[in-house]
Amino acid sequence: MEITELYQSLHDWAGDNAWIVQVFVVVFLVLLLNLILRIAMRRLHQKLRSTRNPWDDAVVAALQKPLRILVWIVGIAFAADIVRLETGAAIFNAVGAVRDVGVIATITWFLLRLARNLEHNVIARSKDREQPVDVTTADAIGKLVRASILITAALVVLQTLGFSISGVLAFGGIGGIAIGFAAKDLLANFFGGLMIYMDRPFSVGDWVRSPDREIEGTVEHIGWRLTRIRTFDKRPIYIPNGIFSSIAVVNPSRMTHRRIHETIGLRYGDVGKLPAILADVKLMLQQHPDIDTSQTLMVNFNSFAASSLDFFIYTFTHTTVWTRYHEIKQDVLLKISDIISGHGAEIAFPTSTMHVASITPAPELEGLTPSAANTD
């Protein structure tokens, strides 16, 4: 009898409060589906991580969180509709618009994550190839794609909320003129960054310097407003992109060769040995494995200096690596020193020759002893 009465009371309560049960069921199903999606996506991501296709794991990694959020948005919106139909509260009239905006925002979030993951995967996997993807180009394309996604999402949201897109674009055209005057420096930096991406005077990782400014170091990051350069003493320099349109930039990283140009002086007493020394130095450079003989190679007597006979060497190395270049230069200079010593000559250093004129004694002092001269 007691069980029958309890069942009857539950049935009566559910009849009056059926919407609460429905909301509970919806929330429970959302939680269950969320748990299933989390486990399934985690296992799928682990399985696809070992493939060489950059698309599959990028899509799964980008989809994990947005998909679960989308389930929550749809579930809560459905539960809110149940409450609205039961209670008639005015606050729940905005559920449809909030749901649509939430869905658009979630899809936008997924697309932004997908673009970022694809950029990262393409760059990371191209490093094993003979011709890796240019980091600066990939970064520029990624930024343009993400900007396009955000602009499109904003226009779709405005259209969903009932705003006229043509009116928004017209207002944007008028407002853009005012913003252009107010933020001309910001726009100059933006278009400066765009020119860097298009003209590509340098890329991330390049060693650059400017003869017009005290700028020299390695490019670490190229943004839409600033470029970050790390100097050789490890200090970061943040340079507005607009500056690069008005200064000269030298990019030593894109040199095809490195030049060795040195002047060496011999003593004037070794002038007879100079032709043979020049011939041996030139032969040494021609036979050196790290010297590119297809480029200009010169070894010539240059000038009669103040205390030396100067000759110069002018040649190019195969390598462009800074540390390796200095090792080759050191080897070349030491071999030149050995050649000079082998010919019995020496490298000159600054010297001065003093000529002292002879002194003729006066006739009246001739024949006098020093003591007699002092007495007088």
Residues 209 and 94 in one domain: no
Any domain includes 350: no
Taking only the tens place, the pLDDT of each residue in 147-192 is 888 888 888 888 887 777 666 666 555 555 655 555 566 667 777 7
Question: Is the residue at 188 inside a domain?
Answer: no
Number of structural domains found in the chain: 3
278 and 234 share a domain?
A: no
- Parent domain of 102: 15-126+133-182
**What does the mean pLDDT of the chain come to?**
79
Per-residue confidence (pLDDT) for residue 98, from 0 to 100: 81
Residue 211 within any structural domain of the chain: yes
**CATH for 235:** 2.30.30.60
- Write down the pLDDT at residue 259: 94
State residue 3's pLDDT score. Answer: 44
Clarify whether residues 261 and 168 are in a common domain.
no
Residue 334 has what pLDDT? 95
Say which range, 2-16, 78-92, 226-240, has the weakest mean pLDDT.
Answer: 2-16
Domain membership of residue 172 (yes or no) is yes
Lowest average pLDDT, out of 4-8, 119-123, 299-303, 319-323, goes to 4-8
Which pLDDT score, from 0 to 100, does residue 6 have? 45
Whether the CB-CB separation of 245 and 234 falls below 8 Å is answered with: no
Q: Given pLDDT bands bounded at 50, 70 and 90, which one contains residue 26?
A: confident
Q: For 246-255, how does the pLDDT look when each residue is reduced to its tens digit (9 = 90+)?
A: 888 999 888 8
CATH (domain of 315): 3.30.70.100
Residue 370 lies in a domain: no
- pLDDT per residue as tens digits for the range 253-307: 888 899 999 999 999 989 999 999 999 999 999 999 999 999 999 999 999 988 8
Lowest mean pLDDT, pick from 6-10, 75-79, 334-338, 352-356: 6-10
| Whether 157 and 262 share a structural domain | no
Residue 229 sits in the same domain as residue 272: no
Angle at 220 between CA 215 and CA 224, to 5 degrees: 90
Assigned domain for 169 exists:
yes
Are 309 and 329 within one domain? yes
Identify whether residues 118 and 141 lie together within a single domain: yes
pTM: 0.54
pLDDT of 7 > 60? The answer is no
Give the model's pLDDT for residue 218. 92
SS3 of the chain: the string is: CHHHHHHHHHHHHHHHCHHHHHHHHHHHHHHHHHHHHHHHHHHHHHHHCCCCCHHHHHHHHHHHHHHHHHHHHHHHHHHHHHHHHHHCCHHHHHHHHHHHHHHHHHHHHHHHHHHHHHHHHHHHHHCCCCCCCCHHHHHHHHHHHHHHHHHHHHHHHHHHCCCCHHHHHHHHHHHHHHHHHHCHHHHHHHHHHHHHHHHCCCCCCCEEEECCCCEEEEEEEECCCEEEEECCCCCEEEEEHHHHHCCCCECHHHCCCEEEEEEEEECHHHHHHHHHHHHHHHHHHHHCCCECCCCCCEEEEEEECCCCEEEEEEEEECCCCHHHHHHHHHHHHHHHHHHHHHCCCCECCCCCCCCCCCCCCCHHHCCCCHHHHHHC
